[in-house]
Amino acid sequence: MHSFASKHDFCVWLNQFSHPHLIANWADQPHVVTLSNEHLLRVVLPFAAKEIKEQLAQWIETQIENNQIDCIAYEILVRPSTLRTTVDKSIRGVKNVIAVTSAKGGVGKSTTAVNLALALSHSGAKVGLLDADVYGPSVPLMLGTTDAKPGVVDNKWMQPIEVQGIYTHSIGYLIDKANAAIWRGPMASKALEQLVRETHWPDLDYLVIDMPPGTGDIQLTLAQQIPVTGAVIVTTPQDLALADARKGAAMFDEVDVPVVGIVENMSYHVCSHCGAKEALFGSGGAQTLAAECGLSLLAQLPLHIAMREDIDAGIPTVARRPESEHAGDYLQLAERIASTLYWQGHVKPDAIDIALV
Ligand X SMILES: Nc1ncnc2c1ncn2[C@@H]1O[C@H](COP(=O)(O)OP(=O)(O)OP(=O)(O)O)[C@@H](O)[C@H]1O
Please name the residue ranges forming H helices in 80-176: 109-122, 139-142, 171-174
Gap between the Cα atoms of 241 and 264, Å rounded: 10
Binding region for ligand X (CB under 6 A) out of 36-44, 131-139, 198-206, 272-280: 131-139
Q: Is 131 in the site for ligand X (CB under 6 A)?
A: no
Q: In 194-258, where do the E strands start and end?
A: 204-210, 230-235
Among 51, 133, 244, 329, binds ligand X (CB under 6 A): 133
Separate counts of helices (H) and strands (E) for the chain: 13, 15
Of 1, 31, 28, whose CA–CA distance to 14 is shortest?
28
Binding region for ligand X (CB under 6 A) out of 16-24, 77-85, 291-299, 304-312: 304-312
**Residue 107, annotated as binding a ligand:** yes
Binding region for ligand X (CB under 6 A) out of 13-21, 102-110, 154-162, 170-178: 102-110
Q: Is 111 in the site for ligand X (CB under 6 A)?
A: yes
Among 4, 29, 136, 255, binds ligand X (CB under 6 A): 136
Number of residues that bind ligand X (CB under 6 A): 20
Ramachandran area for residue 348 (φ above 0: left; ψ -120 to 50: alpha; else beta): beta
**Nearer residue to ligand X within complex by CB, 234 or 290:** 234
Binding region for ligand X (CB under 6 A) out of 107-115, 145-153, 271-279, 349-357: 107-115
Q: Is 150 in the site for ligand X (CB under 6 A)?
A: no
Gap between the Cα atoms of 244 and 301, Å rounded: 19
**Residue 110, annotated as binding a ligand:** yes
Alpha carbon 72 to chain centroid, angstroms:
34
Q: Is 265 in the site for ligand X (CB under 6 A)?
A: yes
Q: Which residues bind ligand X (CB under 6 A)?
A: 102, 105-111, 133, 136, 138, 213, 265-266, 301, 303-304, 307-308, 311
Binding residue positions for ATP: 103-110
